[in-house]
């Protein structure tokens, strides 16, 4: 098994944890990058990007990151808020008037980012071509009625968070969220991170490997499955399946709640830029913006009856919690199905990114090992 990269003196524990992950539980291909104080201190990669061909994992290999893209979309919204172009606590309808139908007049962007808007899944049954075209989803959300009084309950808005916040971004900037992210952030930082993967990059992505036996889902009419599949329009996780999350058409489309792709270096650089700045540049998110974003807004049992799994959300970002361990109360980030994770922390001065192509499912603690190792390095 080939490895590449390096870890600065004092960060060898992260390299040790990375190597152990290949032995137990057994990575296929993976990468981890860490910045501290705006400087890269860990940059490691190894294994196989495509099991069918034996193509090796390279330093800039990107992979689908599923819901880790929520952190990217959230950062875009926070930048617009920081610039005074978006009031997170104003009704979505201020920017998107057609949204103010069927008891949605008072829903704010922050309510959506907190998974409290009552719109966790689409009501309308759209097909794959419609969901990849953007506007049909927007029109469906305009017509939809919340499942509960907005703000009064929590349920994971798996895809709808991205479409609502993404449409707000589009109304303000004139750009789709993926295009705005590239123009405002990613191109300047040289990030291999996308909401909507360019066609020329698709062949370079790592190919995911599903768990043995696939990923079991509840029946199609249950809310969780409707959330994950955009009410049946997508196949999850959909490796080599028409209409799947990992189909070229889906990866090229913009799904800013649960699509996109990134390298580990891309996620780490993004969060380092947000928390501290990189290469001497000012940080993207001010301390005040981060303070607002890490204020806990949602936790506990879900509206659908799912028990409290320990997850805590601020404004769009997941916070340090048992189900998503980070470094402390100033940590902000998001993980995704199959293990990808990016987070920043302006108290520790950290930007962290991890991606892998083996989907393990339950009891996946690969990223937890890496974060725990990083914590020992920082404490030392």
DSSP string, 294-322: TS--B-SS-TTS----S--BSSSSB-SBT
Task: Print the domain residue range for 34.
Answer: 3-66+194-210+263-379
Report the greatest alpha carbon distance in the chain.
58
pLDDT for 6 equals 97
Report if residue 346 sits inside a domain.
Answer: yes
Percentages of the chain per state (helix, strand, coil), in multiples of 5:
35, 15, 50
pLDDT at 1: 61
What contacts 221, CB < 8 A, 6 or more positions away?
A: none
Residue count of the chain, please give it. 380
Predicted pLDDT of residue 216: 82
Cβ neighbours for 363, distance < 8 A, ≥ 6 positions apart: none
- Torsion sign (Cα): 54, 60, 62, 68: positive
For the chain, how many structural domains are there in total? 1
Q: Tokens in use for 354?
A: 């991890």
**Domain contains 36:** yes
Pair 170, 162: CB distance under 8 Å: no
In a domain, 177, yes or no: no
Contact 237, 246 (CB under 8 A): yes
CA–CA distance, 137 with 174 (Å, rounded to integer): 18
* CATH number of the domain that residue 307 is part of: 3.40.710.10
Per-residue pLDDT of the chain (380 residues; tens, 9 = 90+): 688 999 999 999 999 999 999 998 789 999 999 999 999 999 999 999 999 999 999 999 999 999 999 999 999 999 999 999 999 999 999 999 999 999 999 999 999 999 999 999 999 999 999 999 999 999 999 999 999 999 999 999 999 999 999 999 999 999 999 999 999 999 999 999 999 999 999 999 999 999 877 778 899 999 999 999 999 999 998 898 999 999 999 999 999 999 999 999 999 999 999 999 998 999 999 999 999 999 999 999 999 999 998 999 999 999 999 999 999 999 999 999 999 999 999 999 999 999 999 998 777 999 999 999 999 999 97
- Is residue 149 a part of any domain in this protein? no
User: Tokens for 286?
Assistant: 């001010």
Burial of 304 (0-12, 13-18, 19+ CB in 10 A): middle
Question: Would 322 be classed as within a structural domain?
Answer: yes
Q: What is the pLDDT of residue 215?
A: 79
Q: In this structure, is residue 34 part of a structural domain? A: yes
pTM tops 0.85, yes or no: yes
Q: Alpha helix locations (H) across 213-351?
A: 223-228, 248-252, 264-275, 287-293
Q: Which residue has the tokens 């291999």?
A: 192
3-state secondary structure of 178: helix
The answer to whether the beta carbons of residues 82 and 286 sit under 8 Å apart is yes
């Amino acid at each position: 098994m080939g490895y590449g990269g390096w870890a600065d003196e004092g960060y060898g524990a992260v390299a040790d944890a990375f190597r152990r992950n290949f032995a137990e539980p057994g990575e296929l291909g993976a990468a981890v990058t860490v910045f501290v104080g705006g400087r890269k201190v860990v940059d490691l990669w190894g294994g196989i990007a495509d099991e069918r061909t034996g193509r090796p994992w390279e330093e800039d290999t990107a992979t689908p990151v599923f819901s880790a893209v929520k952190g990217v979309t959230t950062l875009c919204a926070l930048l617009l808020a920081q610039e005074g172009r978006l009031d997170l606590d104003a009704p979505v309808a201020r920017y998107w008037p057609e949204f103010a139908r069927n008891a949605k007049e008072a829903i704010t962007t922050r309510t959506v980012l907190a998974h409290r808007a009552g719109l966790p899944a689409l009501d309308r049954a759209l097909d794959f071509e419609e969901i990849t075209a953007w506007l049909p989803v927007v029109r469906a959300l305009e017509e939809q009625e919340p499942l509960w009084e907005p703000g009064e309950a929590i349920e994971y808005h798996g895809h709808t968070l991205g479409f609502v916040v993404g449409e707000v971004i589009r109304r303000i900037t004139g750009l789709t969220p993926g295009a705005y992210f590239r123009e405002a952030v990613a191109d300047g930082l040289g990030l291999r991170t996308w909401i909507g993967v360019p066609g020329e990059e698709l062949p370079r992505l790592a190919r995911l490997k599903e768990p043995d036996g696939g990923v079991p889902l509840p029946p199609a009419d249950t809310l969780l499955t409707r959330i994950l599949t955009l009410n049946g329009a997508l196949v999850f996780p959909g490796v080599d399946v028409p209409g799947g999350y990992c189909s070229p058409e889906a990866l090229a489309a913009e799904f800013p709640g649960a699509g996109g792709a990134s390298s580990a270096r891309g996620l780490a650089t993004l969060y380092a830029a947000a928390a501290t700045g990189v290469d001497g540049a000012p940080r993207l998110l001010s301390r005040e913006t981060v303070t607002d974003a890490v204020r806990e807004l949602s936790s506990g049992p879900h509206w659908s009856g799912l028990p409290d799994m320990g997850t805590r959300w601020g404004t769009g970002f997941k916070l340090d919690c048992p189900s998503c361990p980070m470094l402390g109360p100033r940590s902000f980030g998001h993980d995704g199905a199959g293990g990808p994770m990016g987070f920043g922390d302006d108290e520790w001065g950290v930007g962290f990114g991890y991606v892998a192509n083996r989907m393990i499912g339950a009891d996946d603690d690969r990223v937890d090992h890496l974060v725990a190792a990083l914590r020992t390095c920082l404490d030392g």
